[in-house]
Structure 1
């Protein structure tokens, strides 16, 4: 793919099953092909190879910033609020730790591909992660009550975070979703039919391409740092990410409110308006 990518052409970013090491290898191979060091060709690299501080938890951090803003507009106090997480990979784990750290929320359920655990009194997200690292699953953590991936979606919680695979909330189970906020850390976890049901039932959905945009945003930051040759402190990464996520959230929320549509449609309207403006300024339309 060397002919089709490049720092000024197309810049790949991490996805499922990639690691910083793999991204570093790809950057190195591209650099070999073109004959010079090109750290800006790819993101998600190890720090010594031009990676950005704050990239590891960026997807989850962006999602949590959105949840905090959603709670503010809905009048929900997140301190002690209950959170259920489906999927306990990178995004799910960091969502758990950051909801606890930044919002003071209580993680009551976590699941992975094999199932999960539930405890109304709260689960230590770090302990769940360590248990998964040693056993391959969060299932069986401290002898807690087991829960399935279907059941976790229907828990009576304040915040539900689907952070696993797509199409888990469908027209078959959407009516049973009791969460006040659904934060889509995964890509496409909600079907269009389910979207309508959730909106009708008053469930506040933060759509995936807003909610999980923290990862690609910090990938952009990494590219900017590579091109400029100047690297930021982690506090700067967090502050700039928060600024962009909060701004994007409120643009979406206000657009959806103005047109009386759900947040996904609101986000589409915001993005289409930007493209339309750019096309007009270029003289295309």
Structure 2
């Protein structure tokens, strides 16, 4: 199994060699600046006390306060939070926002906890961490299995401990609690800006550009709808149960209605919830497909928007897409990356493609610190400028060094971090 932190360090070393990174800076960037381990005692509903293990990795704050989510998951590990905090540093620096890299997690299956137990766990996490977070120190956010409600509990606990209001200590809040407009679809919207820029660079006609999206959750479904509205041809979508391919194109709103009504996405071919095994074929112009088949379709743009490690050494040689826009975190393994490079597939990497989410989290923090609330249009205008500028900077770095876009994003990001570190030494 891939060790995520070893993968992260391989990426650091590759970028360092290309850009001739100062050896002292390189050495400092091999570990987080602070790694906090917490024992969190929680009184369970039956009166027992159970102790949960939590972590917070604060990787680097040369550009600004540490920034990154908190996940509740049974597979949380030290190496995972270290790697994710490193990638958050890279992501923030890639899009040039003044935040550093952080990440946290608790080893827990949140589905096994009652709401009361979940609240006590969340407040306990903050009680162990409060001296190391704050709007000018470290700004957590939601991640896997954490919600705006959990963020609300954490902010409330933090403010009780410090004795004053500090809405900027946490992002990903509900709008009425100081959250930002457009946060709900910001990851998808940022990805749309990447697709637009890629289409322009490739010289493609929007109307003829075909797109397949693996993952029809929040980010994937929003992206499908926005691209469809802009004239792109969405030919395939899928969720965890399978998907649908239509050579005539898919209306994402209709596909979403079938899914929400309890049907499989393949029932799109029938137009309503159906018995998919009896009513939908495996071939023809509209057909049901598996997630694996979606990845191998001959499309202009493939968008992995679900799980990590879906493009691997095993299937990379069968990828027929001309380009990949990574809306998911880590959908491509390092081994697959090498195969895709040899095939000439352009990959817009996750640290750039899905950075719309962290960018609007930064906007939320900025609004909180300044006591402002921006309109949805203000947020989208600022987001587009940041994402488009970042895309073009990464593209120019790719051309300058004759490297792939992922390596170019790491080179550009580490260059920014290193410059700021030197100024602070």
TM-score norm. by structure 2 comes to: 0.64
Q: Contact between 1:63 and 1:212, CA under 8 Å: does it hold in 2?
A: yes
Q: 1:260 to 1:63 in 2, by over 3 A?
A: same
1:138 paired residue number = 265
Match status 1:32 vs 2:174? no
Query: What is the CA-CA distance between 1:27 and the residue it aligns to?
Result: 2.4
8 Å CA contact 1:13, 1:216 repeated in 2: no
> Contact 2:269–2:287 (CA<8 Å) still a contact in 1?
no
Cα deviation digits, residues 130-182 of structure 1 (max 9, x gap): 32223175343353521111000010111110001111111111121111220
Q: Which residue of 2 aligns with 1:52?
A: 180
Which residue in the other structure is 2:314 paired with?
172
Residue in structure 2 matched with residue 196 of structure 1 by the alignment: 338
Superposed counterparts of 1:63-142, under 5 Å: 63-101=191-229, 103-135=230-262, 137-142=264-269
Pick the aligned partner of 1:147 from 277, 289, 293. 289
Residue of structure 2 equivalent to 1:184:
326
User: Structure 1 residue 32: deviation in Å?
Assistant: 3.2
Structure (1/2) with the larger strand percentage: 2
The answer to whether the Cα contact below 8 Å between 2:171 and 2:364 also exists between their aligned partners in 1 is yes
Identify the residue that residue 234 of structure 1 maps to in structure 2: 376
> Which residue number corresponds to residue 350 of structure 2?
208
Q: How many residues align?
A: 282
Superposition CA RMSD, Å: 1.6
CA contact (8 A) 2:266 2:287 kept: no
Range that drifts further, 8-17 or 207-216: 8-17
Distance 1:117 1:17, change over 3 A: farther
Query: For the structure 1 residues 50 and 279, does the alpha-carbon distance in structure 2 shift closer, same or farther, using more than 3 Å as the test?
Result: same
Alpha-carbon distance change, 12 to 273 in structure 1, aligned in 2, over 3 angstroms: same
Residue 12 of structure 1: SS of its match in structure 2? strand
Provide the C-alpha distance between the structure 1 equivalents of 2:338 and 2:213, rounded to a whole number of angstroms.
Answer: 22
Describe the shift of the 1:136–1:273 C-alpha distance in structure 2 as closer, same or farther (beyond 3 A): farther
Q: Secondary structure in 2 aligned to 1:268?
A: helix
Displacement of 1:126: 1.7
Match of 1:62 in 2: 190
Moved more, 164-173 or 124-133: 124-133
The answer as to whether partners of 1:84 and 1:152 remain within 8 angstroms in 2 is yes
Question: Which residue in 2 is equivalent to 1:276?
Answer: 418
Worse-superposed segment, 120-129 or 43-52: 120-129
Runs (4+) of structure 1 exceeding 6 A deviation are none
- Would you say the 8 A contact 1:5–1:11 is kept in 2? yes
Task: Measure the CA separation in 2 of the matches of 1:166 and 1:259.
Answer: 28
In 1, Cα distance between the equivalents of 2:253 and 2:141?
Answer: 26
Structure 2: gaps (5+ residues): 1-124, 271-285
Task: State the 1:83 CA deviation.
Answer: 0.8
Q: Is the 8 A contact 1:210 1:248 kept in 2?
A: yes
Q: Offset of 1:91 from its aligned partner?
A: 0.9
Consecutive unaligned residues of structure 1, counting only runs of 5 or more, are none
C-alpha distance in 2 between matches for 1:133 and 1:21: 24
Contact kept in structure 2, 1:181 and 1:203, CA below 8 Å: yes
- Residues 70-95 of structure 1, C-alpha deviations (whole Å, 9 max, x = no match): 11111112224211000111110111
